[in-house]
Amino acid sequence: MPPMTDDRTRPSFWRSLAELEGESEFREREKSEFSREFEEAGDGQPDRRRFLQVMGASLALGGATTACRWEKEEVLPLSSRPEGIVPGEPRFYSTSMELDGIGTGLRVTAVDGRPIKVEGNPLHPESLGAASIYQQASVLELYDPDRSTDIVRRQTGASGANWGDFDNWLRGAIGPFRSRRGHGMAVLAEPSSSPTATRLRRQLLSSMPEIRWVDWAPNNRDHEIAGAVRAFGAPMRQLCLYDEAAVVLALDVDPMNPARPGALAAARALTRGRQPDQTQTMNRIYSVESCFSMMGALADHRLALRSGDIAALAALLDARLSARIGARADLGPPQVEPELDLLRTERCSRFVDSLVTDLLNARGRAVVVTGPRQPPQVHSLVHRLNYLLGNVGRTVWYLAEPDGSAAGPGQVSALTGLVDAMRRGGVEFLCILGGNPVLDAPADLDFGAALQKVPNSLHLASYEDETSQKTTWHLPRAHFLEAWGDTTAWDGTVSLAQPLIEPLYGGRSIIELLSILIDGQAKGGRQLVRETHGQLPDPVFRKALHDGVMAGTAWPRLIPSLRPLGKLNLAEGAASSDTLELVLAVDSNVYDGRFANNGWLVELPDPMTKVTWENVVCIAPNTAARLGIADGGRVHLTANGHSVTVTAVHAPGQAERSVKLALGWGRTAAGRIGGATRLGVPAAGTNAYVLTSARQGLVIPEASLRATGERTLLATTQDLHAIDQYGREATNARLGMIVREATLGQWLSHPDFAKTAVHHAPLLQMWQPPVSYEGHRWGMSIDLGKCIGCNACMVACQAENNVPVVGKEQVARGREMHWLRVDRYYKGTPDQPEAAFQPVPCQQCENAPCEQVCPVGATSHSHEGLNDMAYNRCIGTRYCSNNCPYKVRRFNYFNFHLDLEKPENQVKKMVYNPDVTVRSRGVMEKCTFCVQRIERVKIQAKNVRRPIAEGEIVTACQQTCPTGAIVFGDLSSQQSQVSKLQALDRSYALLEELNTRPRVQYLARIRNPKPEST
């Protein structure tokens, strides 16, 4: 076997040889996951070593192989191949991933024992076949070489310890607490609704009732639950049936943000009401928010208001509606109309007027919803509004919160209590299960310092992170793709989670650790899960495992009785008119920081700002002008007596006198991507947690902003260079042709507006037809009315097509590699803008400009109308990119896979899709409509001489799109969905005037603002 460095000098295109791994022996383990010996995987160590050796060997070969004959390549067949395993063929497993207590059902593709692609499980109510960026990118984390590999014991500093040692220590250490019924012991866990975890927790607390158990996540639902308790006297969760709603009002919340529970389902439901082709009707969405969100972009009416002022608006709304509907004794007294100037502005009152009329017209068919940012009183008022409008029981339902996590005083106060106890020395043994409190606990609690006061502490975490470095024990946590478990969806549906691979680094799951805490015995995850669902007979259990959902486990829908509410305290959380409000939010990409080392997510552009690799202060252009803050200028942001230096970005649509900063960045112990002091890697972005406090939630009424005068070059994927006036004029002039949209009324009166939006010379063909297509004609339709800009398709594409992560400097130079990009355009005035999203993959032109200019014919037209790209033929003149009007081609300016040659990074290769060539330096690459998927199905179908069924071939982006905005298919069949969509009158081709005849067509966006007349 030649050394890895060999192919560094040679342009060798390699893919990790499926064959090789297919037959290399870790495949056995994949099989044996479900067999007994894997269950008691107490000694992960030797197995793991062996495993990695084999991996290393096989991958090394994969890497070093080129066309050169004289290179010897080995094939390692299994000594015995399990039934049904076909080397190199993908297999699919159902599992589910939990994010802060909400489970999402997934379908994971594994090739030769390597999970390589995470997709949604169509049967799961939370997913409906889609997967958010978090779930899709999780597979990259699985193979992250920065994940913690060893058990670390802080006092001794010994890092060689194994689970055996730990178990012995724990049995000894926990003894005294057992006798004291757990007194002096505490558990700080990330919220979980896993039935098994809940069961074990109850078991633990029943055996040691004195244990102080605290749940903590920065993205917690305290306000929501407190609001529900105010309104109903019991913790309840709201279930909105958006697809049955005619009018939706979102108060400072983006229900489609993947950080929200039920986001994927909400996105699908909301957009289902926005395809007027058959019904000619649409739902109408109102959004009041401080920060421009995807909901705001989708909305027909959007009002930018400071988060602190939204309570007042809600009160106003309640007053107006109550007045019109008449008092309802059962609902208590209405709010009095607040006397506030900001509600008297012409824009605001017009907004409220049309909102009130719409809500009244849509009684029983409306949804009012708010989010975690808003104080409890707004939540309770929103419940009242839904009752007032008679939505409850029709478009809005309630589910009883499961006991456990939700109950109690709320996470913040519980955590505050715990920290006090820790400081007082009342906690002798603290078990931190997941999470990263040292980073993300409210800054004023100073959790880190308190932790030092705890004599014994352990942290179970995937990474040796900020918290792990302060606990006495760090324990590697098994990735959810490595462990057994179960989760509960927002609506209560239970799904099982099964491992697809043996723990690469011998980690353990939370439930496995809990089982030791309970009785000192390390039970296997499968056993624990099976016990939880002991009542199920094996066939049922196996079916649940196969389907990924347990049928009929959803909770009953309730209509709790609403208590009368007091008058809203509008002072609470509201900023006075002249101060600057700071809104902190979990990041759209790295969430609360746990994904900060995930290259796919860190390099993913923010949906609105399109900034990558860091968090920025979003500030309204006018406010910025007033404060003299430049776009891209560095600023000092001060709040709660703490200050950070961060880059400011002019964000149209941000509320005046309100700025937003995302949490989760600025990690000091994330890894080679997110930043790690230990490795000398500077942090990506700025840590905003230092501004948080336990008193205030994530909305801080008083903050101050001061320009430093410095400027930085942001790594943005759009508007890379500040657009000057002429550029802006040209952009606005073109917008109408690029993103074609109309109001419902306009569209009904001019159904063909999209076709006639551009005046151009007749498009003549040099050949008729340009190319003769027998058989399939692949095409795609993208519905701009349905695209919410969530970027899920970009991650899907990256995972499917082995698209590299290039790093901040390269993005700043404009060399990002995403094959599929989501363009964001602002329209209207900068202080009241609308936003539109446009996903742009390769348009697969029939008259492809790229094909005509390649001097070596590396890109050419296939018989099915694809612009094939032969990477191994490309010499990299980049002429094709120059001539591509859509600029969808991406170029490998360097060998972006070079770091994989480092031995410690070998494991990263395991994530690659063996069906797609990994491109080396100096070649052009681009979207191919996932040709590998097309070919696979074509070959399989032809093998048994059957036609290809409609919808059998699905591109990665289409598969994961939560709203079904992307549809791929065969244009040569009139029955195919794509041909039907492209036949619609609102279907148009981007830049059609260039006569490129793209195979991708867009459906013009129809919006439904309230007609002015009424």
Partner 1 sequence: MTPLVFPRWTNKLRVLAGVLLGVAPLYVIVLVWYGASPKTTDVGYMPKQPVPYSHALHAGELGIDCRYCHTTVERAAFAALPPTEICMNCHKSVRTESRNLLLVRESAATGEAIRWVKVHDLPDYVYFNHSAHVTRGVGCVSCHGRIDQMPEVYQVKPLSMSWCLECHRAPERNLRPPSEVTNMTWKAPEDAVVYGRRLRQRYAINPPTDCSTCHR
Partner 2 sequence: MTTLTDVNAFQGAPQGDNVFARITDNVSRIAEVPRPPRGWYIAFAISSSMLLMFLANVGYLVFTGVGVWGNMLPVAWGFGIINFVFWVGIGHAGTLISAILYLLRQTWRTSINRFAEAMTIFAVICAGLFPALHIGRPWLPYWMFPIPNQMEMWPQFRSPLEWDVFAVGTYATVSLMFWYMGMIPDLATFRDRARTRARRTVYGLLAVGWRGSSRQWHRYEKAYLLLAALATPLVLSVHSVVSFDFAAAQLPGWHTTIFPPYFVAGAVFGGFAMVQTLAVPARQFFGLKRLITIDHLELMNKILLTTGMMVGYSYGIEFFTSWYSGNEYEGFAFVNRALGPYAWGYWTMITCNVVSPQLFWFKKLRRNLWVTFAVGVLVNVGMWFERFVIIVSSLSRDFLPSSWGYFRPTAVDLMTLAGSFGLFFTLFLLFCRYLPMVAMAEVKVAVAAREAH
| Chain contacts with partner 2 (rule: CB under 8 A) | 11, 718-721, 723-724, 726-727, 730-731, 733-734, 738, 810, 813-815, 821, 823-825, 838, 840, 849, 852-857, 873-879, 881-883, 885-887, 889-895, 921-924, 990-991, 994
Q: Around Cβ 752, how many Cβ atoms within 10 Å? A: 11
Nearer to partner 1, 395 or 859 (CB): 859
Nearer to partner 1, 721 or 945 (CB): 945
Which listed option, partner 1, partner 2, none, makes contact with residue 572 (CB within 5 to 8 Å by class)?
none
Nearer to partner 2, 36 or 721 (CB): 721
Which listed option, partner 2, partner 1, none, makes contact with residue 886 (CB within 5 to 8 Å by class)?
partner 2
Which listed option, partner 2, partner 1, none, makes contact with residue 924 (CB within 5 to 8 Å by class)?
partner 2
Which listed option, partner 1, partner 2, none, makes contact with residue 862 (CB within 5 to 8 Å by class)?
partner 1
Q: How far is the CB of 22 from partner 1 (least distance, A)?
A: 7
- Which of left, alpha, beta for 591 (phi over 0: left; psi -120 to 50: alpha)? left
State which H helix or E strand residue 171 sits in. helix 163-179
Buried b / exposed e over 478-499, threshold 16 CB at 10 Å, is bbbbbbbbbbbbbbbbbbbbbb
Q: How far is the CB of 738 from partner 2 (least distance, A)?
A: 6
Candidates 77, 233, 332, 564: give the one binding partner 1 (CB under 8 A). 77
Q: Around Cβ 458, how many Cβ atoms within 10 Å? A: 25
Candidates 39, 868, 899, 952: give the one binding partner 1 (CB under 8 A). 868
Q: How far is the CB of 810 from partner 2 (least distance, A)?
A: 8
Side-chain-side CA neighbours of 592 within 13 Å: the count stands at 21
- The two structure tokens encoding residue 930: 């996932």
Q: Which stretch binds partner 1 (CB under 8 A): 95-103, 160-168, 361-369, 858-866?
A: 858-866
Which listed option, partner 2, partner 1, none, makes contact with residue 350 (CB within 5 to 8 Å by class)?
none
Nearer to partner 1, 90 or 448 (CB): 90
Q: How far is the CB of 719 from partner 2 (least distance, A)?
A: 8
Q: How far is the CB of 195 from partner 1 (least distance, A)?
A: 37
Q: How far is the CB of 838 from partner 2 (least distance, A)?
A: 8
State which H helix or E strand residue 510 sits in. helix 510-519
Residues 989, 963, 354, 337: what is their CA dihedral angle, to the nearest 10 degrees? -150
- The two structure tokens encoding residue 667: 């990690």
- Whose CA is closest to 23, among 77, 101, 93? 77
Which listed option, partner 1, partner 2, none, makes contact with residue 521 (CB within 5 to 8 Å by class)?
none
In three-state secondary structure terms, 929 is: coil
Nearer to partner 1, 78 or 360 (CB): 78
Total chain residues near partner 1 (CB under 8 A): 57
Which listed option, partner 2, partner 1, none, makes contact with residue 885 (CB within 5 to 8 Å by class)?
partner 2
Which listed option, partner 2, partner 1, none, makes contact with residue 18 (CB within 5 to 8 Å by class)?
partner 1
Which residues 905-964 are close enough to bind partner 1 by CB under 8 A? Answer: 915-917, 928, 931-932, 935, 939-940, 942-945
Q: Name the pairing type of β-strands 699-711 and 580-586.
A: antiparallel
Please say whether the beta carbons of 593 and 440 come within 8 A: yes
Residues 132, 543, 485, 48: what is their CA dihedral angle, to the nearest 10 degrees? -100
Q: How far is the CB of 640 from partner 2 (least distance, A)?
A: 38
Candidates 9, 79, 155, 206: give the one binding partner 1 (CB under 8 A). 79
Which listed option, partner 2, partner 1, none, makes contact with residue 80 (CB within 5 to 8 Å by class)?
partner 1
Q: Which stretch binds partner 1 (CB under 8 A): 66-74, 190-198, 337-345, 737-745?
A: 66-74
Which listed option, partner 2, partner 1, none, makes contact with residue 211 (CB within 5 to 8 Å by class)?
none
Side-chain-side CA neighbours of 562 within 13 Å: the count stands at 25
Residue 920 identity (one-letter amino acid): S
State which H helix or E strand residue 266 sits in. helix 263-272
Please say whether the beta carbons of 220 and 191 come within 8 A: yes
Q: How far is the CB of 872 from partner 1 (least distance, A)?
A: 4
Which listed option, partner 1, partner 2, none, makes contact with residue 922 (CB within 5 to 8 Å by class)?
partner 2
- The two structure tokens encoding residue 250: 């979102």
Cα separation, 640 vs 701, whole angstroms: 10
Which listed option, partner 2, partner 1, none, makes contact with residue 507 (CB within 5 to 8 Å by class)?
none
Burial class (CB within 10 angstroms; exposed 0-12, middle 13-18, buried 19+) of 862: middle
State which H helix or E strand residue 839 sits in. strand 832-840
Nearer to partner 2, 400 or 836 (CB): 836
Distances (CA, A) of 541 to 129, 217, 351, 529: 22, 31, 52, 10
Q: Who contacts 802 (Cβ-Cβ below 8 Å, separation ≥6)?
A: 15, 912, 913, 916, 917, 918, 919
Which listed option, partner 2, partner 1, none, makes contact with residue 942 (CB within 5 to 8 Å by class)?
partner 1
Cα separation, 351 vs 349, whole angstroms: 5
- The two structure tokens encoding residue 845: 């032109």
Which residues 346-385 are close enough to bind partner 1 by CB under 8 A? Answer: none
- Whose CA is closest to 908, among 1013, 1002, 805? 805
Q: How far is the CB of 815 from partner 2 (least distance, A)?
A: 5
Backbone phi, psi, residue 366, to 5°: -120, 165
Cα separation, 448 vs 455, whole angstroms: 13
Candidates 4, 78, 570, 720: give the one binding partner 1 (CB under 8 A). 78
Nearer to partner 1, 77 or 209 (CB): 77
Which listed option, partner 2, partner 1, none, makes contact with residue 484 (CB within 5 to 8 Å by class)?
none
19 binds partner 1 (CB under 8 A): yes
Q: How far is the CB of 945 from partner 1 (least distance, A)?
A: 7
Which residues 28-57 are close enough to bind partner 1 by CB under 8 A? Answer: 28
Q: Which stretch binds partner 1 (CB under 8 A): 21-29, 98-106, 142-150, 830-838?
A: 21-29
Cα separation, 486 vs 480, whole angstroms: 10
- Whose CA is closest to 614, among 649, 579, 570? 649
Cα four-point dihedral sign 199, 204, 208, 210 = negative
Backbone Cα Rg of the chain: 28
**Which residues are near partner 1 by CB under 8 A?**
12-15, 17-19, 22-25, 28, 62, 65-67, 69, 71-81, 86-89, 859-860, 862-864, 866, 868-873, 915-917, 928, 931-932, 935, 939-940, 942-945
